[in-house]
Amino acid sequence: MEALTNRLKPVDRHKMSLWERIYLPAVFKGMVITLRHFFKRKATISYPEQVRPFSPVFRGLQILNRDEEGRENCTACGLCALACPAEAITMECAERKPGEEHLYREEKYAAKYEINMLRCIFCGLCEEACPKDAVYLTETFAPSNYNRNGFIYGKEDLLIPDPKTDPEGFAKARGSRINNPQGHGNER
């Protein structure tokens, strides 16, 4: 009877010789491979002392951007939440009150903005969907935590520092990716 698929392979059932039965050639082959890898450069990095170089297209922790006057760029349009395939972003919008022009650029702003980092897949679709350049993925790892609630970042955790009160923190948070939107950092 012929097999339905042609994946059937005949098995060689010849008797093993004494040399094959004691497995010495296989053991020596394994030792040669081990010794060859023993003298190669190690793949691991001693993290605190050495920093791993990342690709220019690395996507890390999200931030909410401000303009040079310190106003929030986010207008709570919800496009980032709609674009997120993991549904990690939740937001609630509110109307700007008179006298808050120095805090928000538009009439609407995000009163509540949360990202659940346990759901986030770092795809970058939120960054691409944002029409106001308010959401950016930085070159920072998502930090570790001991409980699940620590991975839900609110608006106060995601906003970069105010350029008027903390210009150094603002410049550091903006980084190379925001200054150069094509993703090419400072070439060294």
Binding residues for [4Fe-4S] cluster: 74, 77, 80, 84, 120, 123, 126, 130
Give me the residue label for tokens 């040399």: 19
End-to-end CA distance of the chain: 68
For 60, 114, 117, 130, 136, the CA distances from 150, given in Å and listed in that order, are 17, 12, 9, 25, 20
- Helix (H, G, I), strand (E, B), or coil: what is residue 154? coil
Q: What are the C-alpha distances in Å from 123 to residues 19, 85, 126?
A: 54, 9, 8
Annotated binding-site members: 74, 77, 80, 84, 120, 123, 126, 130
State how far the Cα of 37 lies from the Cα of 29, in Å rounded to an integer.
Answer: 13
The three-state secondary structure class of 128 is helix
| Residue 120 tokens, joined | 């986030």
